[in-house]
């Protein structure tokens, strides 16, 4: 699984926090509550939040992420090594977050980054004393959402609202479990401060090695959220779940101004399709619908650029290619995918007729991922004249060339081609 990165996108000194994380309990100010009076009850009755909070608060739960942590049993620390001790592995509570019961039979919605990398998951109620084993049923890592199944959990599901109907200034409140069990089911209130905020929440790498920014449309609110609130609920005044608190911005801008009160939530309408798929049994347990089930194994590729030459009696597409250096900074940083670079397209060849161009990077041949010419050659060796081959290529918006220095993400798209094979005179591919 990929790691969630904390992104500073307003200024270098501004921290954008994914708010489901390991918690550290700081100082605590203890306050004493007073008994209810008629005056207090009358005041509470006038608050628009009291009734909807009471309706949903018990459906907001803890989510515990346990991971297998490796360490040395004789570690000296301070950079001097592990002192010859043996490596040990034990399960530890790695992170906590929040979740909301969204369907009967114990289905809990949370953030993907809350459960990412877990060896074991638990859901806890109230102050965290009553716990249940939880199973990751499905997730969408690109949207940062996940659905858990908790057998034996009988809490009532909350009603799902319509996040598309939210308006600026509309009252909302958030419920979550920040920091520690002392602050379980903390409620904060505010308004909808902004809609359709396009926020870069992460960077993902596709199966060809190409990196791209993950941008999601968020709801901005001034209802306070903190570490541990991730995956909890943002509700409207009717007590309907309209968002999933996910990101808190805090820090100091370059001009010295303090940044506070800017918090982001994933719209519930974004999560509804995944919830529906899970409840209807359309997804296999543990599936990440953003990436699929099958992990693509790493394959060593040649760093040597070379022209591919094969006998003229072999059916060909009519291209010359070279391997992309897998150790180059462009590939290592995911600026371009690893693949086979087209250096020449013969005039009148099947490749030219199909639309292939110099600068295209071949990443798949007949639905097999290829990272070096030798892999493509093996597939083409099974073909006869008159056969065709299916190619997937990455085409940059600006034509790539062998001598171009790539120092940042290359914009482009993946294209599919079907290319015929013919006996050609020139000794190329």
CA atoms within 13 A of residue 418's CA, in its CB half-sphere:
3
Q: Does 230 participate in catalysis according to the annotation?
A: yes
* Ramachandran class of 345: left when φ > 0, alpha when ψ lies in -120 to 50, beta otherwise: beta
Question: Which one of the listed residues 144, 202, 288, 360 is annotated catalytic?
Answer: 144
For 313, counting Cβ atoms within 10 Å of its Cβ (0-12 exposed, 13-18 middle, 19+ buried), the class is exposed
Question: Is residue 322 a contact partner of residue 305, using CB atoms and an 8 Å limit?
Answer: yes
What does the chain come to in residues? 429
SS3 content of the chain, % helix, strand, coil (to 5): 15, 40, 45
Measured CA to CA, the distance from residue 122 to residue 132 in angstroms comes to 6
Q: Which residues contact 175 (CB under 8 A, 6 or more apart)?
A: 53, 56, 57, 60, 98, 185, 186, 187, 232, 233, 235
Which run of H or of E encompasses 54? Answer: helix 50-56
Smallest CA-to-CA distance from 99 within 88, 113, 89 is with: 113
Question: Which one of the listed residues 98, 230, 320, 322 is annotated catalytic?
Answer: 230
Angle at 351 between CA 346 and CA 355, to 5 degrees: 110
Based on C-alpha coordinates, what's the Rg of the chain? 27
Question: Is residue 162 a contact partner of residue 269, using CB atoms and an 8 Å limit?
Answer: yes
Identify the residue whose tokens are 């993907």: 112
Q: Which residues contact 248 (CB under 8 A, 6 or more apart)?
A: 16, 17, 19, 225, 226, 229, 262, 263, 264
Measured CA to CA, the distance from residue 37 to residue 45 in angstroms comes to 12
Question: Which one of the listed residues 21, 59, 113, 189 is annotated catalytic?
Answer: 113
Q: Does 250 participate in catalysis according to the annotation?
A: no
Smallest CA-to-CA distance from 123 within 141, 142, 146 is with: 146
Q: Does 144 participate in catalysis according to the annotation?
A: yes
Q: Which residues contact 121 (CB under 8 A, 6 or more apart)?
A: 63, 64, 65, 66, 115, 133, 134, 135, 136, 148
Phi, psi for residue 68 in degrees, rounded to 5: -85, 110
Q: Catalytic residue numbers?
A: 113, 144, 230
């Amino acid at each position: 699984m990929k790691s969630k990165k904390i992104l500073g996108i307003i200024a270098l000194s501004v921290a954008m926090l994914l708010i489901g994380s390991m918690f550290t309990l700081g100082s605590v100010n203890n306050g004493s509550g007073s008994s209810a009076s008629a005056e207090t009850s009358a005041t509470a009755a006038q608050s628009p939040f009291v009734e909807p909070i009471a309706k949903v608060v018990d459906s907001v739960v803890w989510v515990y992420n346990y991971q297998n942590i490796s360490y040395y049993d004789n570690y000296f620390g301070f950079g001097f090594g592990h002192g010859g001790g043996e490596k040990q592995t034990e399960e530890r509570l790695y992170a906590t977050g929040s979740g909301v019961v969204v369907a009967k039979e114990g289905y809990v919605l949370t953030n993907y980054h809350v459960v990412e990398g877990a060896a074991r998951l638990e859901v806890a109620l109230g102050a965290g004393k009553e716990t249940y084993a939880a199973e990751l049923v499905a997730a969408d890592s690109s949207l940062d959402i996940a659905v858990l199944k908790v057998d034996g959990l009988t809490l009532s599901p909350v009603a799902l609202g319509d996040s598309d109907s939210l308006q600026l200034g509309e009252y909302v409140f958030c419920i979550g479990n920040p920091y520690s069990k002392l602050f379980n089911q903390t409620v904060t209130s505010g308004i909808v401060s902004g809609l359709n905020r396009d926020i870069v929440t992460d960077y993902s790498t596709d199966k060809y090695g190409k990196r791209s920014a993950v941008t999601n449309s968020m709801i901005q609110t001034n209802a306070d959220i903190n570490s541990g609130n991730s995956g909890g609920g943002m509700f409207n005044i009717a007590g309907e779940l309209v968002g999933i608190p996910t990101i808190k911005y805090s820090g100091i801008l370059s001009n010295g101004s303090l940044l506070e009160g800017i918090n982001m939530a994933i719209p519930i309408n974004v999560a509804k399709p995944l919830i529906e798929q899970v409840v209807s049994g359309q997804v296999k347990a543990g599936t990440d619908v953003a990436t699929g089930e099958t992990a693509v194994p790493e394959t060593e590729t040649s760093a040597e650029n070379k022209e591919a030459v094969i006998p003229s009696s072999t059916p060909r597409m009519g291209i010359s290619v070279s391997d992309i250096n897998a150790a180059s900074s462009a590939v290592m940083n995911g600026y371009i995918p690893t693949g086979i670079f087209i250096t020449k397209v013969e005039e009148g060849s099947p490749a030219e007729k199909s639309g292939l161009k110099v600068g295209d990077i071949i990443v798949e041949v007949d639905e097999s991922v290829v990272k070096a010419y030798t892999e493509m050659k093996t597939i083409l060796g099974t073909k006869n004249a008159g056969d065709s081959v299916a190619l997937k290529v990455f085409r940059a918006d600006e034509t790539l060339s062998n001598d171009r220095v790539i120092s940042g993400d290359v914009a482009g798209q993946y294209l599919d081609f079907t290319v015929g094979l013919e006996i050609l005179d020139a000794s190329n591919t």
